[in-house]
Structure 1
Amino acid sequence: MAHHDEHQALSKAFSGLGVDESAFISILGKWQHEHKHTFRKSSPHLFQPDERQFERWDQDEIARLRHEVLRFKSAIVMWTMHPWERDARLFKEALAKGPEGNSLIIELACTRSSEELLGARRAYHSLFDHSVEEDVASLVVGQDRKLLVALVSSYRYEGPRLNDEIAKSEAKVIHDAIKVADKKAIVQDEEVVRILSTRSKVHLNAVFRHYKELFGKHLDEDLHEHLSLKVAVQCFVRSEIYFSEALNAALNKGADEFTQEALTRVVITQAHINMAEIKAEYHNKFGIHLSQEIEHSVLGNFKDFLLALVDRQN
């Protein structure tokens, strides 16, 4: 392979999510000193000329490449980790991100069963010597705090019992809150927070069904300006929509690091739960199979591992 072709192949080998380990081994392993020198000279996006007359790695590129090398290992660790510990560590990561992490807190609180959420809260105690409730209350700032504290503190009834008339009346309560409240205050409406944080998912399904029948729209469609409430609603009853959109954002070129991490998180946490529904929604919404998009956008062992989980038969 000519030097120019090798350099292009190497640039491609670490230009996506993950790295193409086989390309590194087949090309770099046979290089002599002059090959490396030529590569540094011809790769200004990776190396900077130093005043002392040598080419040095760009520090940001070193950090990025190291992170991409670690993606596969991190995915393996997350896959083998006890789900309670995994979710506790994800809560901690979300809290460290500030307001950007609020959607992840909601995702964890609203897509887990009561026992799974309780287990994550127990693991959080053990790992961090705090409760997740108190950390959410002290670290989340702004109007989302009341909702997020209520969601992470919840222990919902999970049986089939349902009072359909109450569900219908609560659909009207939510609609009235959206219609008359100041837009910034809806997420702090006590009745809205009570309904979303205490009702069973069977009950909430009925609330959202009645909302659609009464007002002609899915509730999450009426909440497009209220992100935290929209995320909560989708995670409760239309999680395949939420997860497919999170995956699409993670696979987009130019996505920031936190957004990209959803690729690992969603595939690993949903692989044996509702991956079939997520894949169907992804294809319906974006016109391409999820596995095809991963094949196109992800590299190396990380790609192979994700595809094994996405295509596994549960």
Structure 2
Amino acid sequence: MAFSDELNVVNKAFSGLGIDEKSLISILGKWDTNQLKSFRLRTPHFFGEDDRSFEKLVQNQINLLKFDFLRFKTAMVLWTMHPWERDARLINDALLDGPKSNNVIIEIACTRSSDELLGARRAYHSLFERSIEEDVASHVTTDERKLFVALVSAYRYEGPKVNEEVAKSEAKILYSAVKNADKKNPLLDDDVVTILSTRSKSHIKSLFKYYVDLSGSSIDVDLDINVSLKDTIQCLCTPPTYFCKVMETAMAKEVDENTREGLTRVIVTRADIDMKLIKEEYRNKYTITLSEKIEDVANGNYKDFLLTLIAREENK
């Protein structure tokens, strides 16, 4: 392998999303002092010039690499957990992370079935000797609190029956709340919270068809600045769209570790649920297959494990 190719391998490994351990050991194990220095000088985004005349690895890269070696292990541990425990721990971690992980709370509350969410709540009791509801109420201090408590407390009807007249009426309520968002945050509107946390997903999907008739545009467009409300509606109505967004953001360069973990979380939790739909949506949205994207950005055992998981449905 030419030195330029070796530089690409090491550069990719240092960039995150998995490390090809065998290649990295082989290359770094044989590089001499000059080759190592050449790598440092050619990657100023990893190494900064110290005032004492040496190339210093930036602290952020040290942190990233520590996480990178753990990423494969994290994926394996999450995969082997009971889904109830996995969701309970993911919610607890999200609450400890603060507002930057609000989407994880929404994701679990809105994309799980009623029984799955109830199971996560039971597991949370057992693991942390508190309820999800009380921890959400305690940790979330922003306008999202009322909605989040209601969402994690939900036990929705899951049948197909929809009262179209009620859906039309509630579309007007939501449209009015969104239209007047500059005066009052829709997240603080009791009617909006009740609709989103108690109605069946079939009902809410029907409601948003009527919303488009009133607004002339989808609520996704109208809610561009209200991220939590937009995520809630996507998770309830079009989960594959939401999950694709999470993964694409996680695979972008220069994202924090918290965001990067979204790729592992989505693939591990959806591999046996709706991965086929997610892969179809991903290809339609980004004109590349999810497998190709993972091949491009990930490395080593982590990459192989993710590719194995997203292919499970094909092998059944």
TM over 0.5: yes
For 1:3 and 1:289, the matched residues in 2 are separated by 30
Q: Which residue of 1 aligns with 2:190?
A: 190
Answer yes or no: is the 8 Å Cα contact 1:84–1:123 preserved in 2: yes
Give the letter aligned to residue 10 of structure 1. V
For 1:180 and 1:49, the matched residues in 2 are separated by 52
For 2:51 and 2:155, the matched residues in 1 are separated by 62
Higher deviation after alignment, 56-65 or 91-100 = 56-65
Give the alignment's Cα RMSD to 1 decimal.
2.5
CA deviation vs aligned residue, 1:147-186 (integer Å, no higher than 9, x gap):
1111111111222332121111111111111123435521
Q: Which residue of 1 aligns with 2:200?
A: 200
For 1:290 and 1:283, the matched residues in 2 are separated by 7
Give the letter aligned to residue 238 of structure 2. R
Answer yes or no: is the 8 Å Cα contact 2:212–2:218 preserved in 1: yes
Q: Which residue of 1 aligns with 2:210?
A: 210
Q: Which residue of 1 aligns with 2:141?
A: 141
Answer yes or no: is the 8 Å Cα contact 2:16–2:65 preserved in 1: no
Answer yes or no: is the 8 Å Cα contact 2:67–2:257 preserved in 1: no
Q: Which residue of 2 aligns with 1:286?
A: 286
For 2:175 and 2:136, the matched residues in 1 are separated by 27
Answer yes or no: is the 8 Å Cα contact 1:187–1:226 preserved in 2: no
For 1:181 and 1:37, the matched residues in 2 are separated by 61
For 2:59 and 2:180, the matched residues in 1 are separated by 52
Answer yes or no: is the 8 Å Cα contact 2:267–2:306 preserved in 1: yes
The answer to whether the aligner puts 1:91 opposite 2:87 as a matched pair is no
Shift of 1:103: 1.3
Q: Which residue of 2 aligns with 1:101?
A: 101
Identity %: 54
The answer to whether the aligner puts 1:307 opposite 2:307 as a matched pair is yes
Q: Which residue of 2 aligns with 1:14?
A: 14
For 1:248 and 1:191, the matched residues in 2 are separated by 33
Higher deviation after alignment, 89-98 or 275-284 = 275-284
The answer to whether the aligner puts 1:258 opposite 2:262 as a matched pair is no
Structure 2 regions of 5+ residues with no counterpart? none
Give the letter aligned to residue 282 of structure 1. Y
For 2:195 and 2:26, the matched residues in 1 are separated by 58
**CA distance change for structure 1 residues 305 and 190 in 2, over 3 Å: closer, same or farther?**
same
For 2:104 and 2:177, the matched residues in 1 are separated by 25
Answer yes or no: is the 8 Å Cα contact 1:267–1:310 preserved in 2: yes
- TM-score for both structures, normalised by structure 1: 0.89
Higher deviation after alignment, 228-237 or 201-210 = 201-210
Q: Which residue of 2 aligns with 1:242?
A: 242
**CA distance change for structure 1 residues 237 and 55 in 2, over 3 Å: closer, same or farther?**
closer
Number of equivalenced pairs: 310
Answer yes or no: is the 8 Å Cα contact 1:268–1:309 preserved in 2: yes
Shift of 1:254: 1.1
Q: Which residue of 1 aligns with 2:125?
A: 125
Q: Which residue of 1 aligns with 2:276?
A: 276
- TM-score for both structures, normalised by structure 2: 0.89
